[in-house]
Structure formats: C-alpha cells, structure tokens
Amino acid sequence: IKKIGVLTSGGDAPGMNAAIRAVVRTALSYGWEVVGVIDGYSGLHAGNFIQLTRRSVSDLLNRGGTFLGTARFPQFKDPKVREEAVEVMKQNGIDALVVIGGDGSYMGAKFISELGFPCIGLPGTIDNDIAGTDATIGFDTALNTAVEAIDKLRDTCSSHKRISVVEVMGHHCGDLAVCAAVSCGVEAVLVPEVKWDKDEVYASIKRSVDAGKRHAILVVCELQTDVHQMAKDLEALTGLETRATVLGHIQRGGTPSAVDRVLASRMGAYACELLKSGESGRCVALKRGELVHYDIIECINSMKHKFMKTTYDLACSLG
C-alpha cells in the first residue's frame, strides 16, 4: 500500500472526525499517503479528493460532525457507478479505502470489496444499529445529549405537574431509547424490538397519575408513533398538561464524548493495522472491550444487531 482514501458517509455522528484523524496519522506513520474524500460516495465517484497531512487533522478531535462532509448518494446502488468509482480511485493511485458510516454506507463498502478493491468499514452512526459491534462511533455522545435533554424536561415537568413524551432517534434500533430510559428513570420506553400496546401504556400512565405522581416521562424511539398525538391522548386521559418533544438532529451534533473519542481513535488506527496486515473487505467492531473484525459481506448478509433486552427489562422494572 502506498496511498489510502478515507470517507464518511450517510448520517453524520460525533466522533467521525476523531476516527479520520486516527486513520490519517496511523497511515502516515506507516509511510502511506492519505487522501480525504469529500462528501462520501458522491465525492468518490467525482474524484473529489484532498491530500491530508498530520496538520490537516489538527484541532478536530473535539469537533462534532465530519470535516470531510457526508452525503446521501443513491446512485451508488448502480453497479456501473460503483465500478466507475473504483476506477477513479485506481487512476488516482489509491490502493485502499476506509469507509466510516452506518449500515447503508456498509452496503457501499461491501460492494467495493466485492469488486476486489481493499476496503475497511468503521461503524459511525448514533443509532448503534450495526451488527456485531457492542458500540458504534457517536452512540455514546448522542445518548449523553438525549439524557441531558430529558433531565431538563424532568425538572420542568416536575415543577408544573406535566407529562412529557420524548422522541429520540435510533431509526429501527431501540438502543438509544433504552439506554436513555435507564439513565433517566422514565415511566415508559417504546421501541421497535418489543411489541407495545397503546392502551396498556396509557393505562399505566393513568394509574401512576391517579396514584399521585407529579410527572411522567415517556421515551419513544422515532418511527414508532406520532408523539404529538400521543401527548394529546394522554392529556385528555389524565387531565395533566402533556407536551411532546422531538429531540431530532440535536442528537447528531455536538462535541464527541470521551468514550466516542477513544473508540473512534482506536478503530481508526485499527483499520490501518488491518490494511497493513493485508486484510480487506473487513468491518471493525467492539466486542467486550476488544476490537475485532468481521467479513463485511457476512456482516451485511447474515449478522444481526443484538437488541439490549436485559437493559430494556431493567428500564421497565426500575421505571
């Protein structure tokens, strides 16, 4: 290997910059050149590259987002476009690629690997929904952001005798909701992995209010229900003022937590180690504190993210 490329793709996540920095500095220490690809797969296809030095990644460790930019580029689903992108890399002397992104980005990385081009995937998403890894880069920061927001809502709910329905992100993965629920001791947590019944949820909130509880907080994973309607229903049922809050993209931004910085730095360096030892078509994962790697094709085709069932049960029994 003489020269590698690094890109961030899909939804941004805090810690992506820390991962890029680790890739760049580790690769340079091996004597490789590094180019950053602007705006994910669209920049890859367009040959939009910038040369990266040690200095290019200074003062980035603590910054949210991704300085390389990210984009949705659905054209990458077209095999011809992918072949063209691989050709662009070869023409630019790039021998290997590190992709930092979520499961959609992993699909792109899988196809690049299938074309025989060395590629390593790093899990960068706040959703924690990548198979095989206990944590993704950005999850811890997003969780801390959600917890801080819910704590604030609790203060005002308790003062005003209010109910709060809080929608958190996570896409089809309830990890963010479940961990926020345990951290904030909420009354109910609604996630896609566990079937829930609206009437039962409403009845349990009503029982708490009737028993004299001054406030209640429900954490709802996105795409589960209309939280504004849920707030109206609960207000009508309990007589307590009820507000819905959609935390939204606030959870995507902000300075990465120390946990995410460490994870991103470890994973970025590990990606280069894998390439150095001749690995390709692998994705990096955290398993019981250690970094491991899987076949990216296997990860996409046959592995499933494991839902945090025991933590969910804990949220229910303590909340």
Show which residues are catalytic: 127
Task: With contacts defined by CB under 6 A, name the span among 30-38, 46-54, 97-105, 225-233 that binds ligand ADP.
Answer: 97-105
Q: In this structure, are strands 33-37 and 49-52 parallel, antiparallel, or unpaired?
A: antiparallel
Map residue 121 onto helix, strand or coil: strand
Task: Kindly state whether residue 76 participates in binding ligand ADP, applying the rule CB under 6 A.
Answer: yes
Question: Helix crossing, 227-238 with 198-210: angle to 10°?
Answer: 40
Task: Kindly state whether residue 9 participates in binding ligand ADP, applying the rule CB under 6 A.
Answer: yes
Q: How far is the CB of 170 from ligand ADP (least distance, A)?
A: 12
At residue 59's C-alpha, the angle toward residues 270 and 94, to 5°, is: 45
Map residue 152 onto helix, strand or coil: helix
In the bound state with ligand ADP, the residue whose beta carbon lies nearer, of 101 and 132, is: 101
Task: With contacts defined by CB under 6 A, name the span among 6-14, 51-59, 194-202, 281-289 that binds ligand ADP.
Answer: 6-14
What whole-number distance in Å separates Cα of residue 160 and Cα of residue 186?
17
In the bound state with ligand ADP, the residue whose beta carbon lies nearer, of 32 and 294, is: 294
Secondary structure of 249-295 in HEC code, one letter for each residue: HHHHCCCCCHHHHHHHHHHHHHHHHHHHCCCCCEEEEEECCEEEEEE
Closest listed residue to residue 34, CA positions, set 95, 122, 85, 86: 95
Q: Which of 3, 60, 67, 72 binds ligand ADP (CB under 6 A)?
A: 72
Q: Which of 111, 117, 202, 270 binds ligand ADP (CB under 6 A)?
A: 111
Number of residues this chain uses to bind ligand ADP (CB under 6 A): 18
Q: In this structure, are strands 290-295 and 282-287 parallel, antiparallel, or unpaired?
A: antiparallel
Task: With contacts defined by CB under 6 A, name the span among 26-34, 99-107, 246-254, 304-312 that binds ligand ADP.
Answer: 99-107
Site for ligand ADP in 151-180 (CB under 6 A): none
Task: Kindly state whether residue 121 participates in binding ligand ADP, applying the rule CB under 6 A.
Answer: no
Q: Which of 104, 118, 138, 170 binds ligand ADP (CB under 6 A)?
A: 104
Task: Kindly state whether residue 108 participates in binding ligand ADP, applying the rule CB under 6 A.
Answer: yes
Task: Kindly state whether residue 248 participates in binding ligand ADP, applying the rule CB under 6 A.
Answer: no
Contact at 8 Å (CB) between 223 and 148?
A: no
Residues lying near ligand ADP in the complex (CB under 6 A) are found at 9-11, 41, 72-74, 76-77, 101-105, 107-108, 111, 125
